[in-house]
Structure 1
Amino acid sequence: MRELSVFVDESGDFGPYSSHSPYYLFTLLFHDQENSINTEVTYLDRKVQEHGFDIHAIHTGPIIRNEGYYKNFSPDDRKRLFNDLLLFTRHVNIKYHIVSVDKKQASGSKQLVDMLSKQLVLFLRDNLEYFMSFDKIIVYYDYGQSEITTILTSVFNSMFIDVDFRHVQPYEYKLFQVADMICTLELSKLNFDNNKISKSEENFYESHRKFKDYYYKTIKKKKI
């Protein structure tokens, strides 16, 4: 039986548009379970420990903002951890897609949900042959936002017969952490492209060129 894992993570909120929250986006990361990633997971865990970090859920937004668990680590150490996850992403056999909306285009949360749902439906229809090649689809989400839960369950259940939805804790799956990182990088791309880059992003990536030629280039190769 061929099974497809779909890891979902989001960035933004369903409140009104603001300069601090101009976009809403979520990542869908796809992994054919026939492709083992055990070797890559073992290597990542070893590199994380070598760089002085506990084995934990790598959360890239706080790494960039120097918050929480990462607050007492140097900029170089935080970049090493980020790059460990980026290198892991480069080597695993995955694909991803981003669903995103500029919140200026939505009059409220209901319209935002409708716009995101329609984007997801169109993407799945455009790639229906790929998804129908699997016997079962398993969607992993941390149920962080009820609107995303509703979008995922309604859209996937309406289009596929055998779909399983699972509540995931970020530390349980490296690919969920990759989905988080991709969401972070895609948001940073929007910020760079629209001159909305934050000071913490500017400091972390160092320049738009480095962001584009190193960070974003790495994940773009995995994009559907």
Structure 2
Amino acid sequence: MSRIALFEGLEQDELGRIAGLTPAAVQPKGTVVMAPHKASPSVYFIKAGAVRLYRIDEEGREVTVDVLGTGHLFGEGSLFGSGLGGLFAVTLEESVICVIGREALQEILEARPQLAIRFIGIVTDRLREAEELLSRLAYGSVRKRLLYLLAKLAGKFGTPAALRGGPDWVRLQVDLTHQELASMTGSTRETVTAALGRLTADGILYRDGTRGPLHVHPGRARRAMEGECGVLLPG
């Protein structure tokens, strides 16, 4: 449980007690672990892996709200009305997901005020990130949406990699198909495939073969986004 951001810094005995209240299960890639029609008053923690949060719009399309990795939590919207309710959560890779009921979580937070403050901060940051992601992925060209998404993924799931004569590449640790990227950007697989090909030709992306890990050059992606937007993006 020490890998969960909410519980960082707790003593081992406290972590052990919390672990006893949060059973974990290994979920295969593509598992819908949370959905509005089967909502329960619980919060989920990602002990390992990656999860995409999305909602269905009026036209039946998936609208990505956030992409979360190890240490993050989700599902708090159904408990506390954070504005992130009514969501689906699907695993992007095999993941270890812990779940805790509302009463147990409230008991933990009431007994540890510092965790309650941290919890509020985490939820507030998530709301801000979700609003930014929604605004970025709702408008603009597919290229622009892909650039933003890939830069976001590189920041959350990337590890430094020296590649093609330069040290500034990042290797994505989460393996996404073209269809998954299309769903996350509100596009089609064919359109995303073509856009990825152009980004590769521009030296922003690199993949060794068709099944190798995807590499992103964040600096070039950032400059390309600034060119698309016509403004300097915040660091």
Q: Which has the higher strand share?
A: 2
So what's the TM-score if we normalise by structure 1? 0.28
Normalising by structure 2, what TM-score? 0.27
Between Structure 1 and Structure 2, whose CA radius of gyration is higher?
2
Greater relative contact order (CA < 8 Å, ≥ 6 in sequence):
1
Judging by fraction of residues, say which structure has more helix.
1
